[in-house]
Structure 1
Amino acid sequence: MDSVIDKAFAAALYGEGHEGLDTGASLLAAAPDADAELRRRGEEYLRRAWRHGWQPADVVRLVRRDLDAPHTRLVAALIRSETAGYPHLPPRWTTQLADLADTATAPETGRPRAQAQPRDRFSDATVHLELYRLLLRLPPIEPVGPPPGETVPGPVEGEPRTLTRIRALLAKAEATGFPEEAEALTAKAQELMARHSLDEALLAARTHAKDAPGACRVGVDAPYETAKAILLDSVATANRCRAVWNEAFGFSTVVGFEPDLEAVELLYTSLLVQGTAAMTKAEAGQRAAGRRRTKTFRQTFLLAYAHRIGARLAEAGEHAVTEAAAEDASAASLLPVLAARDVAVTDRAERMFPETTTTRVRGATDGEGWTHGTAAADRAHVPPRNQGPALP
């Protein structure tokens, strides 16, 4: 059995093109007694990916981008099977695994999707080998947490009530069709984020807690990924975090303290949903007027939206910090704490990414798209993360 697997892998995984894949798939299709070992090898490739810094959401995102639906269903099923054996999982993995439920399970049967649509053995083996070829070639990346098996269990706690309220407010902002209501809900959510973050910072300072910056990865998916990466960078900077975009693998790594990382994930997702909804509405108006430049309009719209959001967050943040320090003695005492945390975040980001590059943004060529995108960002009404005033 092992010799069949080894021969199939030698032909399929270490070469290019379809000839080796066909040879390997033929060998596996003729050896049904190798199925269990084939699956076990897939789990081994996942463990290798975890050791190299990858997390479940990263792997699924890349498979979904580069391969097809059967490969995505297979990798989701393998991840759920492989991670089931660990007594403790790293932070954020539980949420990532929960997000795999819809990918790995067929709603009409409740069975794993990889088994819900029967395929002939040759096709099934081909899917396995194409997936394993991708997994085998995953390079090491910067880890944002320990791999499974090295996690020290902490106290079992539920999500803070404040974050639950924030999620609810942002969900309502995304769902409403009234811009004024979305603005009010987003502003309230941001106010709660600010209070949560400042409380955590003060608590850490007063108790001399050995709090250190962490990191998380946020997917930046095509299309229009440059605009999305710029939007994420703007939100991260406004929330005292640093974002580094890995264009090749479709994610940004955000470095910061845990309460700020949570805020970045929540706010970025909500702003992207709101911006996409505004773009769709504006595009419909353009199409009704007879315009057909859909792609350039969308790309320019999102670039303008990201650019304007970033400018407003930066301007309002500086103004609000100055006012808070002048009006509130407790806020003034907080400034050295925030400055120390900024230094710690910058140091962690530079150690994780000692070499970064900048790129010139291209594609903002549609005047109407820029105008509508800027207007949508103005309507987003996102205040800074401290307790400063809302944007006008």
Structure 2
Amino acid sequence: MNKILFKVHRLLAFWLCVPLLLISLSGSVLVFKHEVDALLMPELVRLAPGNEVWRSFDELLSSFYQTYPDYEVTGWQMYADPGRADLVYVMARGGSEWSSLFFDQYSGRALSPPTSPKYYVTDLVREFHYTFLAGHLGLLLGAVVAVLLCLQSLVGLILHRKFWKVLFTLRYRARPIIYLGDIHKLLGAISAPVLLVLGFTGAFWNISQLRHSVQKPPSTAYVVGERLYNPALSIDALVQESQLRVVGLTPSFISLPSKPSYSIGIFGGSTEQHRLYSNFANTVRYNARTGGYVSMRDIRDSDSVDQMKNSFRRLHFGDFAGNWSRVVWAILGFSPVVLIASGLAMWRLRRPQRLRQAKRRALQRR
């Protein structure tokens, strides 16, 4: 049984080698996406400390439309970090493509012009991580790699199911192949649970997106021609009303309609929710014309399946316990690179032995 599992483990390693290497590298970068952005373009994503009095949504929207009268806001994302600039999603009138820009929520001014969602380096890295920049084919490939990663992790755990006996044994004075084997087993045993989580959540998202794309009926892109919500509505009033409906709601995203049938949505986390739930776990929706209440979702009242799916975001990016869990996730998410390297090195070192055994068997058959 172990011989068969070992062959499966080795075969999967060869199949996964290149795509898993690319996914691991890009995923480890994305765990610290904002920090990378802050290094590459601090003037856009970080705000200088000063008078940090957050302006109201109505003021911010008014300021935006004065600067970009030919654009319509479709989403406004806020962050818990007070030194981080807001991210605003927009669409140009007469167009159907999405753009985004960074916005100073304290001064009420745009920090960048509207740009394509794939314009900045880390946005390209994110797109590559999910789709290999190959559209639906890349989504399918990513899903297959994620499923095989889960299988590989399970096979590795079964092969070394008694790993705790030699978990911290590193025979550094032994032959290279033995030392490499100890490193491979140790790192594999530690990282396998995290890789299982990463593989499962990644496969779920890619497969869900593929299924949605296939089942979605073909439609022409909507061309924005006018504001799709009543400009007399106060977004601040809707936010305050949503906080009465969801106790402890902290808004993280305001969704404004991008199509005539869409509503206004207030998304956010709650001070009373479990730490595994995302900052977008709760939603309150309002009619875009009248401002009347439409529906809501309080994650604490959702069924267990919905709660489990909502936890996938934090489990995948590892931010459920602050920076410590992000560091652990980045390191263990990068572990396939070391596992692949050590596995290939052991395969290469065993090659002369395999060749000698093959010659011996050939001679015996004569």
When the two structures are superposed, what TM-score results if normalisation uses the length of structure 1?
Answer: 0.22
Structure number with higher helix proportion: 1
Normalised TM-score (structure 2): 0.23
Rg larger in 1 or in 2?
A: 2
Larger strand percent: 2
